[in-house]
């Protein structure tokens, strides 16, 4: 049985959260540059240029990419042959607390839905744990802002709605969101399971590699179709119109009840901040 000190967990959580709030992933920067080159609108091209300049400044000055430094969302894949020497959840939340303090990141978490008192350290993190084979622990770490999260949606369609119903729901959701989620966006879609499972699938979908695609030919085709149709909506960067509303569509699926077709749409702004770390 392999043993990992809880302090090590706190350290990697802290370092990852600071890093992703200061630096965009290289593949995302490449996509933004390609989008800028493709844009025909002077205003849209200028906005994409501003986004690219912003990420360069944030990286060089060690400053947050956005004032909304998000809620910490951690997906943990815990190997059966490894043990954390201490409380895993406490270790993760210690890492979050240190990151938001030492990294001068905005603390946005409130304790109660109505009195809105701030926790003052951005905890608790939202943690999802899965047991897997092996002696490693994988952490998929994200800072998820509210602007894009607030535009997300879960709808219980019926099987009769089919692919056309899913496409209409996604396109309507993106169009109605307009510039609020700070496009160009990444759209994560969860189809199947039940009410809560579909939302989990959608959240996991936005953490996928930007350059990957589904192994399922039907779903892969749907990802490509939706990407093209979302961009044809003309919402454009920051909602001012243009060629690029969406950078990627990722769809995850799961078996479901014969009478159900749950669909969750999790929208991610252009500042897609996530990182995978393996211990």
> Using one digit for the tens of pLDDT, what is the confidence trace for 64-115?
999 999 999 999 999 999 999 999 999 999 999 999 999 999 999 999 999 9
> Using one digit for the tens of pLDDT, what is the confidence trace for 134-169?
999 999 999 999 999 999 999 999 999 999 999 999
Domain boundaries, the chain: 2-20+65-144, 147-271
The mean pLDDT of 221-228, rounded to a whole number, is 98
Any long-range contacts for 29-32 (C-beta under 8 Å, 24+ apart)? Answer: 29/55, 31/210, 31/247, 31/248, 32/184, 32/247, 32/270
d(CA 44, CA 56) in angstroms, rounded, equals: 19
Angle at 151 between CA 201 and CA 153, to 5 degrees: 45
For position 88, what pLDDT does the model report? 98
Going by the DSSP 8-state scheme, the letter that residue 246 receives in this structure is: E
Domain 2-20+65-144: which CATH number of 3.30.360, 3.40.1130, 1.25.10, 1.10.3470: 3.30.360
- Whole-angstrom Cα Rg for the chain: 19
Cβ of 146: how many Cβ atoms within 10 Å?
13
Nearest Cα residue to 274 out of 198, 189, 208: 208
Mean pLDDT for the chain overall: 97
- Please give the model's pTM, rounded to 2 decimal places: 0.96
For position 5, what pLDDT does the model report? 97
Tokens of 72: 């910490």
The mean pLDDT of 206-213, rounded to a whole number, is 95
């Amino acid at each position: 049985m392999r043993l990992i000190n809880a302090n090590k967990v706190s350290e990697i959580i802290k370092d990852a959260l600071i890093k992703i709030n200061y630096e965009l992933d290289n593949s995302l920067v490449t996509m933004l540059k390609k989008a800028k080159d493709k844009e025909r609108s002077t205003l849209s091209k200028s906005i994409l240029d501003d986004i690219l300049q912003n990420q360069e400044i944030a990286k060089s000055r060690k400053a947050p990419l956005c004032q909304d430094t998000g809620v910490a969302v951690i997906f943990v894949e815990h190997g059966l042959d490894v043990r954390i020497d201490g409380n895993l959840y406490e270790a993760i939340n210690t890492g979050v607390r240190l990151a938001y303090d030492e990294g001068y990141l905005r603390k946005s978490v409130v304790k109660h839905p109505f009195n809105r008192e701030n926790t003052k350290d951005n905890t608790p993190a939202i943690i999802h744990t899965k047991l897997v084979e092996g002696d490693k622990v994988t952490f998929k770490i994200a800072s998820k802002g509210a602007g894009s999260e607030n535009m997300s949606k879960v709808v219980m369609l019926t099987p009769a709605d089919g692919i056309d119903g899913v496409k209409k729901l996604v396109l309507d959701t993106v169009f109605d969101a307009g510039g609020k989620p700070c496009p160009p966006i990444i759209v994560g879609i969860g189809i199947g399971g039940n009410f809560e499972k579909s939302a989990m699938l959608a959240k996991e979908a936005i953490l996928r590699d930007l350059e990957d695609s589904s192994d399922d030919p039907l779903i892969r085709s749907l990802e490509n179709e939706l990407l093209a149709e979302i961009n044809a909506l003309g919402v454009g960067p920051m909602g001012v119109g243009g060629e690029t509303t969406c950078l990627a569509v990722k769809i995850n699926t799961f078996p479901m009840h014969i009478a159900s077709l749950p669909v969750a749409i999790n929208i991610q702004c252009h500042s897609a901040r996530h990182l995978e770390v393996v211990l």
